[in-house]
Each structure stands twice: as structure tokens, then as C-alpha cells.
Amino acid sequence: MSPPDNDAWDAAPVALLRLDGDGTILDANRVLLDWVGRPAQGLRLADLLSVGGRIYWETHLSPLLHMQGRFDEVAVELRGPDGRLPVLMSALVHTAADGGRRVDVALSRATERSRYERELLAARTAADRLTDQLRALQATTAALSQGVGTEGVARALVEVAVTHLGAVNATVWVAAEDGTLVRRTSSGAGAEEGTDVPDEPWAPAPRAAPDQPPADRVTPDAVEQHAGGVVVVALGAPDTPRGVLVLSPRDDPFDVGVLTAVGQQAGLALERAQLFDQKASVAHELQRALLSTHLPVDDRFSVTTEYRPGVQALEVGGDWYDAFLIDDDVLAVAVGDVVGRGLHAATAMGQLRSAVRALAGPGVGPAALLTRLDRFVTQAAVGFMATLAYAEIDLVTGQVRYACAGHLPPLRFTAGGAHEFLWEGRSTPLGIGVGRTEAVTVLAPQDLLVLYTDGLVERRDRPLPDGLHALATAGAELGDGSVADLVTGLLARAGDERDDVCVLVAAWTPRNP
């Protein structure tokens, strides 16, 4: 470092110091004197630093010089007449001509750098906040997109509120047709009791009269703060919401911008869900209307049926059943499955069901019936590749004549608990039949004949034989109960809940001679 009498010493753009071995200032240039506003010679360097800088010098920087002989660009603060001055300090240890230990120190202003670092930290904080917001919105979008119907959307919303939006608990209220709010679902701590949410969480402001200027209309906020820290989010437009989301916060306050966006997304999701529910209700009413029939009543037999639509199915499916008397002593039972879903499948289902009744008759038999159905399918261009299990039970002898057009085999349970799949009498699905065949078996009193659709046994994670075995096992276990219990039990163990399931169970009881 240059000596004090050198012009370069005072003309340097940085503050320059020379210290002795114990940190006492031997020389200082004009720049340093201007910064600290007082003479520095004879003082210790630590006397010029802020409290934090002094501690840092004594505990870290001075020992570092003793060990390594230098350090570079360490941020500290000088105490000046106008307050603290951030600087970057670099130091180098060398041996003087007298053999003593000297330390040369250079200090440069770090004001701009400190401001840059603050701005960088603020930008990083903002970026992290935006990232958290984006993640919360993405999680909300993903959860709402997977919700089916109003209940599904409500459950998805409360779950994402607790897991991603920072709520202790959450409750969804959905607007009913009369405008009242109906509580649908809750999640989080205390959700079941509902003690942390108000009974009447939110009500829109009165709507203005039609002749009132739009600028004077009162519109509630999308996010409102209530007593006790409870936050209410309007789901959809605040003046005409589809519902509200009631949240109890954790320690940190909610992000109003995120909650507003969540409310808008959830409002759209609820609108779609309500349309879904309406269509599903109409579809299922249509399904029930097509399946409903007055099953024959006779003390020689009992017929129990059950139909369960897929839990996520909007449209009606193609599964159907029927039972009717061909004559006084012959009962016909049938279960079928039309390819596809929706109105087309429902129409085909109704036509095939009517065709079976029209084409069956005394002396026709299952094989001939399938042949006639092939002609009907070809001529009417309806029900191609549909499957059908059809059986005729003689109510005097218990003899069963049956045929399966591409359908799963009927299952017979004996009164003693044994079971048998009826694999004979099989042929191709309807519309492509060549050489239809039928088979014969005999029911003993109290035996059960079970016809079913593939939704009862098929699953994507197991082969069909395993599903058939599970059906036979479940039937044997439930055989001691009533036929209704058997049907309910079979449905409870059904394979894939996304598929329709149709079951018909027939039992024969001969009259005493």
C-alpha cells in the first residue's frame, strides 16, 4: 500500500488503511476520513465498525487473517456521521521493513450492491410467492377437474383448501334452487362437528332494482373476512354465486388473489357439476323407465333383480334384464348388454328387450329365439354385437333350456351350496349368429339361477377366470341368506364401479302334488 505522502494514497477511489498487528490504525487516506467524519489514526479498526461489524471482525475476520493472511470482499458497515455505510472489506497481511506485521485494508462502497441485493431478495420473495400461488391454483384446477357431480366438486374443493390453500378446515355450501345455501361437505380439523364455521356463512347483497343505474349497485366482495378469522369465498360471481367456501386460517393469512381465482374456478366447476347432475338424473330416470317392468308373480318361482349404474357414468348404459311368462307353466328370464352408452345404447336396449318379448313364445325355444333376433338386428340395424343370456324355466319339472349369445355363462347355485357355471349353449353375439345352439339343465327345488352382466366380474387388474371364481365364492358365502341379500352381496363385491352392473336371480319352488 502506498505511504501517506504519496498523492495516489489520497486520490484512490476507495478507502485505504494500514493496521499494525493488533488492529490499530497506523495510516488512513482521505476517503476513509470523509466516510467516518473523524480522525482515525490511533483508533482500532473495530472502533469504526457497527456493533455487528465489530463482533464479526473480532470473532471471524481477525482470526482469519492470522490463519490465512487475507480475505476478500466481506460485507460490513462503517459508522459515519450520517449513519451506517455499507462497504466491502478486503485485507492482506504483509511484513514491514522493520520486521513487524502489517495489515493493508481496502474498503469500497457497497450501497448499490446492498440495494441490488435487497431488490434481488424482494424479487426472489415475490417469485416464490407467485410460485406458491401457481402451485395452489394448479392443484385446485387438477382437483376440480377430477370431481364428478356437485358432491365430487365439493369434496375436491375442501380437500385442496386444507392441503394447498392453508386452511385448518373448510366447508362448502351450495346454492339451492330457492337461493338458500345448503351445506354439502367439510374437511379438516373439527369439520365433522362444524364448530368452526358459521351456520349462515354468507349472503349476497340485495340486488338493485332493474331501473337503478349499474354504477350504484351494491356488489359484495369475492372474499370476505368474518369474525373469528373465518374467510368466506364466493364460488362464481359474487352477486350470484353458485355457493360459498368457508375457511378457517392457520397462522398465516390467506392470499386474497389466490382465493378469488379459486372461487372463480370453483364457480365454473360447480356450474358444470350441476349440469352434470341434472343430465345424470334424467339419464338414470330414463334407465329406470326402460328397465322397470311388472315381474310376474307366482308361488312356483321368485325373481329378484338389481341394477346399479356406474358411479361415474353420466349417460345410461346398455345393460338390461327381463322376466315374463311365455305360457302358464314356462318362465322366461333374460339379461343382456348392448354395445356403447348414451341414448343410442338406451334405444337399442329398449328395442331388443321388446323384441325378445315379441319373438319368444310357446315352442320357440332359446336357439330359435336367438336366430329370430339375428334377423331383427340385421333388418332394424340395431343392437349389433349385443350379448344376451336367455333361459326358459319349466315351472312343473324345473327343466331349464338356455342359450348365450356371446354373454357370460349363467351360474347355478344348488340348495346345498355347490355351484356350476353353465358353459354350454354358447354362440356369437347378436347379428353374426351362425348355427345357434341351446343347452338343458335341471333346477332342484330352491336352486338359484343367476344371470348377470360383465360389470359384476370384470376388473382391469385381474383376469376374467378370477372374477368368475370370486363371484362363485361370494354366492356360496351368501347362499344362506335371502335372494335379496345374495344380490346385494354380489353387488357389494362387484368388480369395476365405473361399469354398469345388472343381476337377475331366479328360484324355482314346485307346488306340492
36-50 burial: b if 16+ Cβ within 10 Å, else e: beeebeeebbbebbb
pLDDT value of residue 315 = 56
pLDDT value of residue 327 = 92
- Do 428 and 480 form a contact (C-beta atoms < 8 A)? no
Give CATH for domain 293-508: 3.60.40.10
Geometric angle at alpha carbon 183, from 181 and 186, rounded to 5°: 145
Mean pLDDT by 10 residues, the chain (513 residues): 61 88 88 88 88 90 90 89 88 86 89 72 78 79 81 86 82 80 71 47 42 36 68 80 82 78 84 79 70 76 81 65 93 92 78 93 94 93 93 95 96 87 95 88 91 84 84 73 67 60 88 71
pLDDT by residue (tens digit) across 450-461?
999 888 888 777
Domain positions in the chain are: 7-109, 130-192+220-283, 293-508
Whether 7-109 shares its CATH topology with 130-192+220-283 is answered yes
Q: What are the Cα distances from residue 417, in Å, to 197, 376, 414, 474, 491?
A: 54, 40, 5, 11, 19
Hey, is 309 helix, strand or coil?
Answer: coil
pLDDT value of residue 494 = 53
Counting Cα atoms < 13 Å in the Cβ hemisphere of 381 gives 0
DSSP-derived secondary structure letter, 24: B
Give CATH for domain 7-109: 3.30.450.20
Residue 247: strand pairing partners: 170, 231
Contacts of 241 (CB under 8 A, 6+ apart): 175, 202, 204, 234, 235, 267
pLDDT value of residue 491 = 65
pLDDT value of residue 483 = 63
Hey, is 336 helix, strand or coil?
Answer: strand
pLDDT value of residue 119 = 77
Owner of C-alpha cell 336371480: 505
**Cell numbers linked to 208:** 338493485
6-22 burial: b if 16+ Cβ within 10 Å, else e: eeebbebeebbbbbeee
Q: Is the dihedral of CA 449, 455, 456, 461 positive or negative?
A: positive
pLDDT value of residue 470 = 81
pLDDT value of residue 498 = 59
Instruction: Residues 130-192+220-283: name the CATH superfamily.
Output: GAF domain (3.30.450.40)
Owner of C-alpha cell 349417460: 315
pLDDT by residue (tens digit) across 167-198?
888 888 888 777 777 787 777 655 444 444 44
Owner of C-alpha cell 338356455: 402
